Amino acid sequence: MTVTCDFCAHRCRIPEGRTGLCGVRRNSGGRLETTVYGAIQSAALDPIEKKPLYHFLPGTRVFSVALAGCNFRCRFCQNASIAVPEQFPLPVAHWDADRLVAEWRASGTPAIAYTYSEPTVWQDYILDTAPGIRRAGGRVVMVTNGFLTPEATERLVEVVDAFNIDLKGDDEFYRQLCRGRMEPVLDTIRRVAPRRHLEVTTMLMPSRHSAETVEELRRALVDAGVRVWHISRFFPAWQMRDEPPTTEDQVRSVLDGIAATGDPPFIFAGNSRQSEYHQTRCPDCGTVCIDHRSPVRNLTDRGRCPGCGARLYGVFE
């Protein structure tokens, strides 16, 4: 019997004994299972800024975990070894929900992040483990490509406190380089933005992101209510090693153009030395509120500007 998976917007119809595009959702006797459930590929302590999240508990560390699998096949993938089924290494550990909570507690961090690969395809593990983290006083972060079904998004917003969602490019970019589509990602962003802390990341590839494309993305994010946007430099990887890296001048030009519009109000540089764009400034008075360079300096009063007292978007305690 063929079964349809509702974890992501591919909605794969999976025959008996086969897996979906992600390589980890398998039809076993008419019932879908996640073959990598609990199989930890990576566990590490990261600065929360690495996710990147600049307005969610800034200056703290987060316990990051990953299982294997992804529902995209991005030609520029930075983590192909744990994203592409043909390259999956053996897991480093197997943790059930209780063990994961115990490992997070031992880390001494205020939050856990499901990250590195694509948590969408192993979201059942998140749904089973995140409630225990939250009951123990922790916060839950999901770093995702956002290619979710509406049903999956509704499930996840109930247990996730903060999202970083990639908006990779326009629809042509998704179809040519990722084997995906743009609209389901925008739909996820629209659903998450009014309900949970959200920051969006776009990796700038100058040959694919024209000024018109960047403006299209900006308008879509503003319409969705996004307040924080990270523009990250591209570096050659996996099947696009011949593509030139984004230069500092190129990323600066794009950041300046977005900043000139004033919306979204918080714009940051990723993989870049643009120090001005590693600072949170108050949209009302221009005062530096947070310097995100290591060591992070949070100058706010629990999220209020030290200059004028305006409340910033974010979660600061």
- Compute the distance between CA of residue 173 and CA of residue 171 in angstroms, rounded to an integer: 5
- Is residue 293 situated within a structural domain? no
- Is residue 298 situated within a structural domain? no
pLDDT at 115: 98
On the CB side of 146, CA atoms within 13 Å amount to: 27
- Is residue 180 situated within a structural domain? yes
pTM to 2 decimal places? 0.98
- Is residue 269 situated within a structural domain? yes
pLDDT at 86: 84
The whole-number mean pLDDT for each consecutive block of 10 residues of the chain, a chain of 317 residues, reads 97 98 97 98 98 98 98 96 91 97 98 98 98 98 98 98 98 98 98 98 97 98 98 97 97 98 98 96 98 97 98 97
Cα angle 147-220-167, degrees, rounded to a multiple of 5: 35
Task: Report whether 31 contacts 81 (CB < 8 A).
Answer: no
pLDDT digits (tens, 9 = 90+) for 101-137: 999 999 999 999 999 999 999 999 999 999 999 999 9
Token pair in block for residue 315: 């979660």
Task: Report whether 60 contacts 44 (CB < 8 A).
Answer: no
- Is residue 76 situated within a structural domain? yes
Specify the number of domains making up the chain: 1
- Is residue 12 situated within a structural domain? no
pLDDT digits (tens, 9 = 90+) for 41-81: 999 999 999 999 999 999 999 999 999 999 999 999 999 99
> What CATH number did the domain enclosing 268 receive?
3.20.20.70
Burial of 194 (0-12, 13-18, 19+ CB in 10 A): exposed
- Is residue 33 situated within a structural domain? no
Q: Which domain holds residue 55?
A: 39-276
Name the amino acid, one letter, at 41.
Answer: Q
- Is residue 143 situated within a structural domain? yes
pLDDT at 63: 98
